[in-house]
């Protein structure tokens, strides 16, 4: 069965163009032109990925993202205006997995969609690696996408879960932000000023109650990357 993608953007030309490209790639597309319609689509059926414009009437994309994350773990890609750095950071903090800045090439967005779906299937359905990872009070069940910290459940987004899984699988080793990016998204769009991983790490630490200054779990190795020690 083809993956079902939600495309929500009040700029009809963009929504129509993105939908056309995704349909040509074999995806089933649900198209919405405002946030209220997007929320109805979220509640109406099973989705595999959502593409949300941040600036939508009635309900903005950030609120739609937040509402999705209350119930679902599938990937979310945010569409942001050029130069709106705070919108990007806010979107990632709300639980988005990736963002792309307007104007963009539809083929690039299609590539991001494919990368997100590959990552989601790989890191959230038990494909590859141990089904259960345990260290220092942290338990990750790859098949059920459950994470416990000292028996307390953590509500992680797919990307947060993937980052934590990679670090656990490489416990004691330093993994750079660039390596994390490529392992999760499997694409070539990483640039040195890309702060996507940094934002996800910060949000992970907040959920784990971990200190930035003296972290117990995710440690920053300055100039190199991140690691978890078992």
Whole-structure pTM value: 0.67
Q: Tokens 């800045």 — which residue?
A: 101
18 vs 89, more confident: 18
Torsion 198-200-203-209 (CA) sign: negative
- Sorting pLDDT into bands at 50, 70 and 90, what band is 1? low
| pLDDT reported for residue 126 | 47
Q: Which of 19-28, 48-57, 184-193 has the lowest mean pLDDT?
A: 184-193
What are the beta bridge partners of residue 138? 135, 149
Q: Write the pLDDT tens digit of every residue in 69-99.
A: 888 888 999 998 866 677 777 778 788 888 8
Cα 214 to chain centroid distance, Å, stands at 26
Among residues 8, 6, 9, the alpha carbon closest in space to that of 30 is found at 6
Non-local (6+) Cβ contacts of 181 within 8 A are 190, 194, 196, 197
Q: Which of 9-13, 81-85, 114-118, 173-177 has the lowest mean pLDDT?
A: 81-85
Q: Write the pLDDT tens digit of every residue in 38-71.
A: 999 999 878 999 999 999 988 999 999 999 988 8
What are the beta bridge partners of residue 219? 227
CB 42 within 8 A of CB 69: no
Quote the CA–CA distance of 184 and 194 in Å, as a whole number: 14
């Amino acid at each position: 069965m083809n993956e079902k993608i939600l495309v929500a953007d009040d700029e009809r030309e963009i929504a129509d163009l993105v939908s056309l490209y995704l349909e040509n790639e074999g995806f089933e597309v649900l198209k919405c032109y405002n946030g209220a319609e997007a929320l109805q689509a979220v509640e109406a059926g099973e989705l595999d990925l959502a593409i949300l414009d941040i600036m939508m009437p009635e309900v903005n994309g950030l609120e739609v993202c937040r509402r999705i994350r209350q119930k679902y773990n599938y990937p979310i890609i945010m569409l942001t205006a050029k130069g709106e750095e705070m919108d990007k950071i806010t979107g990632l903090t709300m639980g988005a997995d990736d963002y792309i800045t307007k104007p963009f090439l539809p083929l690039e967005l299609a590539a991001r969609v494919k990368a997100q779906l590959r990552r989601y299937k790989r890191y959230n359905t038990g494909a590859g690696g141990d089904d259960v990872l345990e260290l220092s009070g942290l338990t990750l069940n790859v098949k059920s996408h459950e994470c416990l910290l000292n028996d307390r459940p953590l509500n992680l987004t797919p990307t947060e879960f993937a980052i934590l899984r990679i670090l656990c699988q490489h416990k004691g080793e330093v993994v750079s932000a660039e390596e994390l990016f490529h392992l999760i998204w499997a694409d070539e769009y990483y640039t040195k000023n890309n702060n996507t991983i940094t934002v996800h790490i910060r949000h992970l630490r907040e959920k784990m109650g971990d200190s930035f200054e003296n972290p117990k779990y995710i440690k920053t190795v300055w100039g190199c990357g991140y690691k978890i020690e078992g």
